[in-house]
Amino acid sequence: DQQVKQNSPSLSVQEGRISILNCDYTNSMFDYFLWYKKYPAEGPTFLISISSIKDKNEDGRFTVFLNKSAKHLSLHIVPSQPGDSAVYFCAASGVTNTGNQFYFGTGTSLTVIP
Amino acid sequence: DAGVIQSPRHEVTEMGQEVTLRCKPISGHNSLFWYRQTMMRGLELLIYFNNNVPIDDSGMPEDRFSAKMPNASFSTLKIQPSEPRDSAVYFCASSLGGRRYEQYFGPGTRLTVT
């Protein structure tokens, strides 16, 4: 059972516009969320994170929003640049009944069109 | 620092053979993670170590998989015997410890079992 879901496998956006990547999770015990970016033939790299005590965290062009009641988070990239084209993974962590757990989503492939 | 180092980068083997994947974490990091990436399930956490001790191996798919961390600078993931369904990209990651620290990923090992 997928505990972290990224329902859009791909997304295309024009350069300069906003990219919005979505992520849903199922376990209310998750309390820390991260986004990673992955280029082909490389490992994922950390992008931005948010704790469940916040509903927004911003870092430059990247903002993550957390809606705990909906168990939903999103990553906004404004403005989008061609170099942002990559696969973006959402991750969630928390202390569950089986201990510390980390779950990643299946990823969303973002293409920014020049 | 060179980052997380994984070897080999590519491995092609026949069904039934033993496969050993290797990882050198970033010096000073005390948590190490093994992940498997597939199209269907995204990034799955297989096992993670804290201070060289396995903390959670509930993600290890079956007894054919085993992982060791004999010291702070080296870990192995072994598959014996390998099967075609094990074909995937395997990532190793390390962090300073704790689930709120970002993980640094290696470049991955692409395993193909024929």
Provide the pLDDT confidence category of residue A72 given band limits of 50, 70 and 90: very high
Task: Please determine, for residue A98, whether its predicted confidence score (pLDDT) is greater than 70.
Answer: no
Q: Mutation test of the interface with chain B: which of A47, A59, A104, A109, choosing the one with the most B Cβ atoms within 10 A?
A: A104
A93-110 average pLDDT score: 84
| Cβ-based neighbours of A60, under 8 Å, separated by 6 or more | none
Q: What is the pLDDT of residue B1?
A: 62
Q: DSSP secondary-structure letter at A32?
A: E
B37-49 average pLDDT score: 87
CA distances from B91 to A46, B19, B20, B46, B60 (A): 14, 15, 13, 10, 14
Provide the pLDDT confidence category of residue B69 given band limits of 50, 70 and 90: very high
Task: Please determine, for residue A17, whether its predicted confidence score (pLDDT) is greater than 70.
Answer: yes
Average pLDDT, chain A: 93
Task: Please determine, for residue B98, whether its predicted confidence score (pLDDT) is greater than 90.
Answer: no
Place of tokens 């990034």: B43
Q: What is the pLDDT of residue B56?
A: 83
Provide the pLDDT confidence category of residue A102 given band limits of 50, 70 and 90: confident
Distance CA B37, CA B91 (A): 8
Q: pLDDT tens, B23-40?
A: 999 999 999 999 999 888
A33-51 average pLDDT score: 94
Task: Please determine, for residue A113, whether its predicted confidence score (pLDDT) is greater than 90.
Answer: yes
Q: Mutation test of the interface with chain B: which of A102, A104, A106, A109, choosing the one with the most B Cβ atoms within 10 A?
A: A102
CB contact (8 A) between residue A43 and residue B45: no
B32-58 average pLDDT score: 89
User: Does the bond joining A79 to the residue before it have cis omega, within 30 degrees of 0?
Assistant: yes
> Which residue of chain A comes nearest to B10, CA vs CA?
A41
Q: What is the pLDDT of residue A16?
A: 97
